[in-house]
Structure 1
Amino acid sequence: MKALRFHAKKDLRIEDIPEPPRPGPGQVLMKNSFVGICGTDLHEYASGPIFIPTTPHPYSGAQGPQVLGHEFGGTVIAVGEGVTKVAPGDRVAVQPLIMPRGGEYFADRGWHNLSGSLALVGLSWQSGGMSEMALVNDYNVEKIPDTMSDEEAALVEPTAVVVYACDRGRVTAGSSVLVTGAGPIGILALLTARAFGATRLFVSDMNETRLTLAREVVPGVVTINPATQDVGEAVRAGTLDGIGCDVALECVGNERALQSCLDAVRKQGVIVQTGLMGGKGSVDFFQLTFKDAEIRGSWCYPTHSWPRTIELIASGAIPASRVVTRRITLDDAVAEGFEALLDPAGSQLKILIDLSR
């Protein structure tokens, strides 16, 4: 079957690889429909290997070359012994966290995203979404309703990231929310905050093209360019009594953006660090203490949030498909997908690979 595999930095290859074996006990074989190119995939391509193991993964045994893709969905072809949650013909979204089977503190308590032994489909597993078929565990698939499209199934994973971030920030009805970074995660965060009831939305980004896209996707959002505006001042000017926002979601992984969040948030507000920093960052801790504010991390998502995220998308509460700006074939994935998303012009948000073409 055809697959896109990571071999080394800037070395992605379209290859013909063996089809996955028949599913064993507790496993599911699926035909992939759509897969999204994630920021993590881009980091692997531009600077990797980062998460892709160069020696056998301690839990999954996987190592490069690796089929990429952890934002995907498809149709079940076959199931192994003991699988009852899905059947052949069911359409599913893939939850990519590969969980240790007992004896690990966080995994045993349902917080698989916090497990130190965690593996991920498309990064440290035998299969990935950027191929015609994938073999996964039964707990990795969640059946989607008829009201959800195959494209939307590929958007459940990135949406789950921001649903968890909004949970961590305690976004609720009437909240005012700043998001730093108008990439696909940032704009999904805006859509999710609105679904949670936020009434005043702000987004900051240095790229005017991205800010224009944000205004198109999220009508009514206030856009701020830190190159020409002071983020904190702009947010305070747009919030009740000029006190600042209730919640700030840092979605770009930038030290300056994190400081902007701290400046913009009100006293006793919450900052959620969602973007991955490339190195050690710093903030004004006097300001953090003086404001009596909180900074929280947000890593992946708890797996029990998956059905909830599917419902939020399928119901239309989170119109996740609005972030999709291009659909391409697997053959064009490198030039029209990875390279396009690395273009500093930032004209694309979420690019989906259509595996049926």
Structure 2
Amino acid sequence: MKAVRFHGKHDLRIDEVDGPDELGRDQVLVRPTFCGICGTDLHEYDHGPTWTSTESNPYSGAALPQILGHEFSAEVLAVGDAVSTVAPGDRVSIQPQIGPRDDYFGRRNLPFLGPNASVVGLSWPWGGMAERAIINEANAIRLPPDISDRQGALVEPAAVGVHAVDRANVRPGDSLLITGAGTIGAMAALAARAAGIANIFISEPNAKRRERIRAMDIGVMLLDPLTSDVAAHVRGVTPESLGVDAAIECSGSGRAFNTCVDAVRSQGVIVQVGLMGGKVEVDPFRWTVKDLTIRGSLNYPLTIWPRIFSMMRSGRFPVEKVVDAEVTMQRVKEDGFDALLAPGSAKLKILVSMPT
């Protein structure tokens, strides 16, 4: 079968590989339908390997070259003897976090925090950018009839955005700053709007990206951190110039993180989602005197898929607005990865339409 495999930095190939031949009792064979190109995939391609490795994953045995794709929907083709929640012909959305369930974090339904974590499409033998894949039963979530395959491929990044908003501890009527208007920043903005956040500010240096977000028409205030003092502006339009109730940092920039510190009110919350590639200079004294809560946000609760389905179904969480294009597997590098990484690109999400 054909598969999109990452071999190393800037080395992405469409390879002919052996298809899945052994199905465990609790495993599911699927045919991917749509697969999103994630920021993590882009980072691997442009800067990696980071999440992938030449050494075998201790849990899954996966090693480079790696079949990419962890945001995808699929059709079930076959199931193991012990599988009861899905059947051949079902449409599913893939929850890609995998790991042992008998260690400290696995017993708490947080396997992705454990030392032997594995992710479909990054550290699992199979991924969504292939004609076939094997995943565990727990990772195949049946799609409701009124949720499309395209929406199914967007559940995973949507869950990241929703979880970030949850971690921000905001309530209807609150105010929120988001730094970085990539896919996750856009998803966080959509989730915040669905949650009833009254005032949403987005800081983004890329003018084309700001226009892209403006065209989504979701009622946010867009700011350019290169030409304005974002924190001062935000404080100036919040009650008593105190600042926003919370901030979500999605760019992976130390400067943006410090902007969040300046922009939130005392006892505000800052959620760090963007992955920073190195150390940054911060001032923890300010965290203390403002009595701030600083939180990381990794992934999402593994049980969040039905909630995302409900949010999509309500019409108040139009995640399809982040999609810029659909490309074929054969053109995934040129029309997918390269297009998203092009200097000044405004694109948020490109879906790979997998062959039938």
| TM-score for both structures, normalised by structure 2 | 0.97
Instruction: Show the counterpart of 2:321.
Output: 322
State whether structure 2 residue 99 is matched by structure 1 residue 99: yes
Structure 1 letter corresponding to 2:60: S
Partners of 1:96 and 1:218 lie apart in 2 by: 31
Partners of 2:128 and 2:314 lie apart in 1 by: 25
Q: For residues 19-77 of structure 1, what are the alpha-carbon distances to aligned partners after superposition, in whole Å with 9 as ceiling and x for unaligned?
A: 21252200001111100001110111112111112111111111111100000011111
Partners of 1:93 and 1:315 lie apart in 2 by: 18
List structure 1 runs of 4+ shifted beyond 4 angstroms.
Answer: none
Structure 1 letter corresponding to 2:293: E
Instruction: Show the counterpart of 1:181.
Output: 180
Structure 1 letter corresponding to 2:37: I
State whether structure 2 residue 350 is matched by structure 1 residue 351: yes
Instruction: Show the counterpart of 1:262.
Output: 261
Q: CA deviation at 1:142?
A: 0.6
Instruction: Show the counterpart of 1:134.
Output: 133
Structure 2 letter corresponding to 1:173: P
Q: CA deviation at 1:333?
A: 0.4
State whether structure 2 residue 330 is matched by structure 1 residue 331: yes
Partners of 1:60 and 1:177 lie apart in 2 by: 39
The share of aligned pairs that are identical, in percent, is 49
Instruction: Show the counterpart of 2:84.
Output: 84
Partners of 1:271 and 1:218 lie apart in 2 by: 25
CA contact (8 A) 2:180 2:249 kept: yes
| TM-score for both structures, normalised by structure 1 | 0.97
Partners of 2:217 and 2:97 lie apart in 1 by: 30
CA contact (8 A) 2:5 2:67 kept: yes
Task: For residue 58 of structure 2, give the secondary structure of its aligned residue in structure 1.
Answer: coil
Query: 220-229 or 297-306, which moves further after superposition?
Result: 297-306
Q: For residues 170-215 of structure 1, what are the alpha-carbon distances to aligned partners after superposition, in whole Å with 9 as ceiling and x for unaligned?
A: 1221111110001111011100011111010000011011111111
Q: For residues 280-322 of structure 1, what are the alpha-carbon distances to aligned partners after superposition, in whole Å with 9 as ceiling and x for unaligned?
A: 1232222211211111000111212222122222332311110
Task: For residue 85 of structure 2, give the secondary structure of its aligned residue in structure 1.
Answer: coil
Task: For residue 208 of structure 2, give the secondary structure of its aligned residue in structure 1.
Answer: helix
Instruction: Show the counterpart of 1:222.
Output: 221
CA contact (8 A) 2:4 2:129 kept: yes
Instruction: Show the counterpart of 2:50.
Output: 50
Instruction: Show the counterpart of 2:62.
Output: 62
Partners of 2:186 and 2:141 lie apart in 1 by: 24
CA contact (8 A) 1:128 1:134 kept: yes
CA contact (8 A) 2:41 2:68 kept: yes
CA contact (8 A) 1:23 1:80 kept: yes
CA contact (8 A) 1:112 1:302 kept: no
State whether structure 2 residue 209 is matched by structure 1 residue 210: yes
Instruction: Show the counterpart of 1:9.
Output: 9
Structure 2 letter corresponding to 1:278: G
Partners of 1:90 and 1:175 lie apart in 2 by: 40
Partners of 2:354 and 2:316 lie apart in 1 by: 27
Unaligned runs of at least 5 residues, structure 2: none
CA contact (8 A) 2:98 2:112 kept: no
CA contact (8 A) 1:22 1:29 kept: no
Instruction: Show the counterpart of 2:341.
Output: 342
CA contact (8 A) 1:113 1:301 kept: no
Instruction: Show the counterpart of 2:109.
Output: 110
Alignment of 1:31-50 (within 5 A): 31-50=31-50
Partners of 1:52 and 1:168 lie apart in 2 by: 27
Partners of 2:237 and 2:79 lie apart in 1 by: 53
Q: CA deviation at 1:99?
A: 1.7
CA contact (8 A) 1:171 1:197 kept: no
State whether structure 2 residue 267 is matched by structure 1 residue 243: no
Partners of 1:212 and 1:233 lie apart in 2 by: 22
Q: How many residues align?
A: 356
CA contact (8 A) 1:113 1:303 kept: no
Q: CA deviation at 1:241?
A: 2.6
Q: CA deviation at 1:155?
A: 0.5
Alignment of 1:293-312 (within 5 A): 293-312=292-311
Task: For residue 155 of structure 1, give the secondary structure of its aligned residue in structure 2.
Answer: helix
User: CA-atom RMSD, angstroms?
Assistant: 1.2
Structure 1 letter corresponding to 2:154: L
Query: 14-23 or 188-197, which moves further after superposition?
Result: 14-23
Query: 237-246 or 337-346, which moves further after superposition?
Result: 237-246
Task: For residue 266 of structure 1, give the secondary structure of its aligned residue in structure 2.
Answer: strand
Task: For residue 105 of structure 2, give the secondary structure of its aligned residue in structure 1.
Answer: helix
Unaligned runs of at least 5 residues, structure 1: none
Task: For residue 134 of structure 2, give the secondary structure of its aligned residue in structure 1.
Answer: strand
CA contact (8 A) 1:22 1:78 kept: no
